[in-house]
């Protein structure tokens, strides 16, 4: 009798435990599920339907939505609203009129834009996609008002303009300095005399020039001759439009394709077919070994490049010998330099870590 009374209890407990084991993995998912509701607080018009706020249907066009907004905006504007006896609705007081005006403005901002209205209609039709609606809503609200591409383009143009005027200023400073160097100034003056540019015909009347004007004109003539005759390289060279950042970005695909073609030809001619290097290729290998940029290498004198070619520095072993010689020569120069000797004597006798008191 006792056994018969206990057996049903054991069966019920075992069945309950089995159901608990099956439902346990589903509890986190059940806790995360929100009740489906299209209108939620914090999105668009909150718990109010934006179409109902404006008093229009979902099929209303832009003109109808704008007309309804203007009517409601005039009615609930806080500066113009005057409550009347028996007036019912959201604008019964100035405070509630302001809230109604903001709600109308929010509804209009939501429905006037096609993309935002599309997201809102999708939210009304698919209330179960709660987190997706939040994402689309805030991604549009927090998105930058100005196109990022426009910002990048304006920034690049501004940098290019600054870059051009900075380079041009450096170039003019270099020309002004060269005009003060006797070697270049004498040569430019001789060329100007040969071309008859420095003949100062005495002009009478209104066109007569003062001494300062004549001196400035002569200075400009000398500077122009220096500009035309001398080739400045490096950081003070004449600015070129193609070197600006904007044009470098525009020409980047062309440069990339050119480099790929050049690299493939290099591999084919010298690695596969085993051709000998030409002068241009030898200088390129030497420049890469010296870790110099193209502008730095081009600024070297021609006799230096000829020395590199004579010593066959494109060969790695020859370049290592040349590098060692340059380091030894630099050490000798530093050893014979009086300033370097004083510095070493100071480091030996006193040094930066010694505290001394000098009477004199």
Among the listed residues 228, 231, 149, 139, the one whose alpha carbon sits nearest the alpha carbon of residue 192: 228
pLDDT of residue 256: 92
Q: Per mean pLDDT, which range of 97-101, 109-113, 121-125, 303-307 is the poorest?
A: 97-101
CA–CA distance, 158 with 154 (Å, rounded to integer): 6
Name the CA radius of gyration of the chain, rounded. 42
The residues near 295 (Cβ < 8 Å, ≥ 6 apart) are 233, 234, 237
Reported as a single tens digit per residue, the pLDDT across 197-225 is 766 544 544 456 677 777 888 888 888 88
107, 124 contact by CB (below 8 A): no
The 3-state secondary structure of 288-332, one letter per residue: HHHCCCHHHHHCCCHHHHHHHHHCCCCCHHHHHHHHHHHHHHHHH
CA 32 to chain centre: 42
Mean model confidence pLDDT for the chain: 76
Q: Per mean pLDDT, which range of 26-30, 51-55, 75-79, 239-243 is the poorest?
A: 26-30
Q: What is the CATH number of domain 50-142?
A: 1.10.287.110
Share of the chain above pLDDT 90, in %: 12
pLDDT of residue 47: 83
Q: How much of the chain is in helix, strand and coil states, percent to nearest 5?
A: 70, 0, 30
> Where are the domains positioned within the chain?
50-142, 149-200+211-239, 241-275, 277-348
Among the listed residues 244, 308, 319, 260, the one whose alpha carbon sits nearest the alpha carbon of residue 280: 308
How many other C-beta atoms lie within 10 A of the C-beta of residue 119? 19
| Averaged pLDDT, 65-69 | 91
pLDDT of residue 357: 43
Q: Cα(first)–Cα(last) distance of the chain, in Å?
A: 120
pLDDT of residue 234: 61
The answer to whether residue 298 scores a pLDDT higher than 70 is yes
CA–CA distance, 38 with 93 (Å, rounded to integer): 30
Reported as a single tens digit per residue, the pLDDT across 268-281 is 988 888 888 889 89
39, 48 contact by CB (below 8 A): yes
121, 59 contact by CB (below 8 A): no
DSSP secondary structure code for residue 198 in this structure: S
Among the listed residues 229, 244, 73, the one whose alpha carbon sits nearest the alpha carbon of residue 162: 244
Q: Per mean pLDDT, which range of 129-133, 157-161, 221-225, 344-348 is the poorest?
A: 344-348
CA–CA distance, 324 with 60 (Å, rounded to integer): 85
């Amino acid at each position: 009798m006792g056994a018969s009374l206990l057996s049903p209890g054991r069966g019920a407990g075992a069945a309950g435990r089995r159901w608990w084991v099956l439902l346990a993995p589903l509890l986190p998912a059940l806790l995360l599920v929100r009740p489906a509701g299209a209108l939620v607080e914090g999105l668009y018009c909150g718990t109010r339907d934006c179409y109902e706020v404006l008093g229009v249907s979902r099929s209303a066009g832009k003109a109808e939505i704008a007309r309804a907004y203007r009517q409601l905006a005039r009615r609930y504007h806080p500066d113009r609203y005057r409550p009347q006896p028996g007036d019912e609705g959201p604008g019964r007081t100035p405070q509630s009129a302001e809230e109604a005006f903001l709600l109308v403005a929010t509804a209009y901002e939501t429905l006037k834009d096609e993309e935002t209205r599309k997201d809102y209609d999708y939210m009304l039709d698919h209330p179960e996609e709660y987190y997706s609606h939040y994402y689309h809503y805030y991604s549009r609200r927090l998105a930058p008002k100005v196109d990022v591409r426009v910002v990048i383009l304006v920034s690049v143009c501004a940098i290019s303009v600054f870059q051009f005027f900075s380079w041009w200023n450096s170039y003019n400073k270099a020309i002004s300095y060269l005009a003060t160097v006797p070697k270049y100034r004498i040569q430019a003056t001789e060329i100007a005399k040969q071309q008859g540019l420095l003949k100062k015909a005495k002009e009478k009347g209104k066109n007569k020039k003062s001494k300062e004007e004549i001196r400035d004109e002569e200075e400009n003539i000398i500077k122009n001759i220096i500009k035309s005759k001398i080739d400045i390289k490096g950081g003070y060279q004449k600015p070129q439009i193609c070197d600006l950042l904007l044009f470098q970005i525009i020409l980047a695909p062309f440069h990339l394709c050119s480099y790929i073609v050049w690299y493939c030809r290099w591999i084919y001619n010298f690695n596969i077919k085993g051709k000998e290097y030409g002068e241009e290729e030898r200088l390129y290998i030497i420049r890469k070994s010296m870790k110099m940029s193209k502008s730095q290498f081009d600024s070297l004198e021609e006799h230096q490049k000829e020395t590199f070619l004579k010593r066959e520095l494109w060969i790695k072993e020859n370049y290592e010998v040349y590098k060692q010689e340059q380091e030894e020569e630099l050490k000798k120069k530093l050893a014979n330099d009086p300033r370097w000797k004083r510095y070493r004597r100071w480091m030996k006798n006193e040094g930066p870590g010694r505290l001394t008191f000098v009477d004199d």
